[in-house]
Amino acid sequence: MNLMIIDDHEIVRDGLSMLLQQSFCIDGRICACDGYEAIKAAESFSADLVLLDLSMPGGLDGLTTLEKLRKLLPDAKIVIFSMHDDVGYQRKAYEAGADGYLIKQLKRDDLVQSLDQILANQKVFDTHVWEGPSEGDYFHQIDLPITKREKEVFILTVKGYSQKDIAERLNISVKTVENHRQKIGEKLGTHKRYEWVETARKYNVFQT
């Protein structure tokens, strides 16, 4: 696994590097002290896991850096690692394409466990991030050229549910979920999740 750590504090970068190399099989590692350095590095370094601070100097904040990295590293797991525990920040991070939001005050074992979950394609955020209108309300807000069932799959996808979870929630097969996602991607002109999230933001899916 290739690891990228972005934080303006050297002690945080070094500490995380040491911990993750002890807990995971790290093939390659690169550290950056700000968003600009991270974006430049991402052009030549294909990271599998990115840990990104929210507040950094240099004029490029963590959320903006996240959006740019998501485009450069569409398959990477990008995790905000911040001292801010505000749910509003977490919701913005999710909307920008983050796979998780972890607090720097986490204990070592909890941090490793959370990263394990993220690497296993789970989303790790405060549960309050998901509070808002019911899914039924969302369906009326979205005016997309897709069927009602496709809208259900679309919404659950951008909210971070796996194909298996969507299948169980909608009482359909995983193969049917895959087929719906394929058709949605064709109709939207993209199969990339971060672009689906952008579409969801445009149609107020995350409005609370």
Rounded to an integer, what distance in angstroms lies between the CA atom of residue 204 and that of residue 172? Answer: 26
Q: Provide the percentage of residues in the chain whose pLDDT is more than 90.
A: 44
Residue range 56-84: average pLDDT? Answer: 89
Rounded to an integer, what distance in angstroms lies between the CA atom of residue 52 and that of residue 34? Answer: 9
CATH topology of domain 135-202: Arc Repressor Mutant, subunit A (1.10.10)
Report which of 49, 44, 52, 9 is spatially closest to residue 26, judged by C-alpha positions.
Answer: 49
Among 26-35, 95-104, 189-198, name the most confident range. 26-35
Q: What confidence score (pLDDT) does residue 48 get?
A: 96
Q: Do domains 2-129 and 135-202 have the same CATH topology?
A: no
Q: What confidence score (pLDDT) does residue 126 get?
A: 65
Does this model's pTM top 0.85? no
Q: Is residue 199 predicted with pLDDT exceeding 50?
A: yes
Task: Parse the chain into domains and list their residue ranges.
Answer: 2-129, 135-202
Between these two residues, 92 and 42, which has the higher pLDDT value? 42
CB-CB contact of 84 with 101 (8 Å):
no
Main-chain phi, psi angles of 29, to 5 degrees: -145, 140
Give the range among 121-135, 138-152, 193-207 with minimum mean pLDDT: 121-135
Q: Is residue 58 predicted with pLDDT exceeding 90?
A: no
Q: What confidence score (pLDDT) does residue 205 get?
A: 60
Q: What confidence score (pLDDT) does residue 136 get?
A: 41
Calculate the average pLDDT of the chain. Answer: 84
Q: What confidence score (pLDDT) does residue 180 get?
A: 92
Q: What confidence score (pLDDT) does residue 203 get?
A: 66
Q: What confidence score (pLDDT) does residue 44 get?
A: 94
Q: Provide the percentage of residues in the chain whose pLDDT is more than 70.
A: 88
The residue with tokens 């040491």 is 18
Q: What confidence score (pLDDT) does residue 204 get?
A: 61
Q: Is residue 10 predicted with pLDDT exceeding 60?
A: yes
The dihedral sign for the CA sequence 109, 81, 114, 105: positive
Rounded to an integer, what distance in angstroms lies between the CA atom of residue 190 and that of residue 93? Answer: 21
Does CATH place domain 2-129 in 3.10.129.10?
A: no
CB-CB contact of 51 with 4 (8 Å):
yes
Q: What confidence score (pLDDT) does residue 88 get?
A: 78
The string of pLDDT tens digits covering residues 129-176 is 544 444 444 434 445 678 888 888 988 888 778 888 889 888 899 999
